[in-house]
Amino acid sequence: MGIRRGKSDKADSKDIAEYLYEKQEKIIPTVLPKKVIQDLKKLFNYRERLVKDRAAYITRIKEYEAVVSEIKLKVYQKSNTEVIACLDKQIQTVEKEIDKLLRKDELLMNQYKLINSIKGIGPQTAVALIVLTEGFTLFDSWRKFASYAGTAPFPNQSGTSYRGRTKISPLANKRIKTLLTLCAGTAIQYSTEMKTYYKRRTGEGKSKMSTLNIIRNKLIARAFAVVNRNSSYVDILKYAA
């Protein structure tokens, strides 16, 4: 905008109009997600708050065990346990509402089932992927979503004199990144292919974290693949001779 002296709506409107004119070939108009996606997002966010509240009460019980005498401890334990039980019920209620919303939309329900067919990805991560990609319409490739999630590695170099270590960016959606990390850990435990890959790569001396990140990206790629081809994930390894 350059140096500006003073401010007026007329001047601001002119700057906005010039910007739009210059960028008209690059700008993509925003399309609001359909109502079911908006409702899913609200419920998903609410469930996340309830889970955080439950975790806080569980932590409090442990804290009281360390500082309160055994005689008075039962009062704190009983009170917090009742609140945790109440939160468990509320979380289950929200999950049922999420399930109802998914079942009302055939396309989203199909995506949900397809993503859940991938070993390592659970129900909540499947819902998160649907919400954040707006039914897999917001990102045209898994690599772009990996960049958004903070799992895509980027080079760190300048000319020929400096070549730093390739690393992921701190600019990320921390929520989905955390979920994908948990999914990668589960995949290493229960997917023969992922377990073999993890052991082989770390056995070669490669970083455990970089290997885990590769698995996170594999899971993202598989989620986009099953949705794009509209078929469940097939574990080819179990058919190997």
Residue 23 has a pLDDT of 92
Contacts for 238 with CB less than 8 Å, ≥ 6 apart = 192
Once rounded to an integer, what is the mean pLDDT over residues 198-212?
A: 94
Residue 239 has a pLDDT of 61
Write out the DSSP string of 131-179: HHTTTTTS-SSHHHHHHHHT--EE--EETTTEE---EE-S-S-HHHHHH
Indicate if the pLDDT at residue 85 is higher than 60. Answer: yes
Indicate if the pLDDT at residue 213 is higher than 60. Answer: yes
Beta carbons of 130 and 44 less than 8 angstroms apart: no
**Percentage of residues in the chain having pLDDT higher than 70:** 98
| pTM, rounded to two decimals | 0.84
Task: Give the chain's mean pLDDT.
Answer: 91
Indicate if the pLDDT at residue 43 is higher than 90. Answer: yes
**215 confidence band (pLDDT: 50, 70, 90):** very high
How is residue 144 written in tokens? Answer: 């772009």
